[in-house]
């Protein structure tokens, strides 16, 4: 272990410019911290961009789920010439095509063409 000279003056009484020394040490530390802070800012920006992409993908997923329904692509259209007599209705398992419906009471019969698309 090195022996200390009892006549040596250290610390504040040594007339060393301690303020400048401390400033230099702080500048050295800042040089080490600055690149880390720059990378942090870059990564935070990338994370925010990915969050925006994720949000837009979630919106797109909601729209595509709506398009995934059978009814969107397989719509059925039913028409009648007199809705007071017959109420048309088509289900998703209805067979497409043109159909004729004959109805009658007693001796009178009426025929009607039914079209399904």
Q: Which residues of the chain have pLDDT under 70?
A: 1-14, 70-76, 92, 99-117
Q: 103, 87 in Cβ contact below 8 A?
A: no
Chain mean position to CA 77: 35
Predicted TM-score (pTM) of this structure:
0.40
């Amino acid at each position: 272990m090195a022996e200390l000279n009892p006549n040596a003056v250290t610390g504040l009484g040594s007339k060393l410019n301690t303020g400048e020394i401390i400033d230099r040490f702080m500048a050295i530390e800042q040089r080490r911290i600055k690149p880390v802070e720059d990378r942090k800012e870059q990564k935070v920006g990338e994370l925010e961009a990915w969050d925006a992409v994720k949000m837009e993908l979630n919106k797109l997923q909601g729209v595509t789920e709506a398009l995934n329904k059978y009814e969107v692509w397989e719509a059925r259209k039913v028409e009648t010439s007199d809705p007071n007599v017959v109420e048309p209705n088509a289900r998703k398992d209805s067979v497409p095509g043109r159909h004729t419906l004959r109805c009658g009471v007693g001796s009178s019969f009426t025929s009607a063409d039914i079209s399904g698309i």
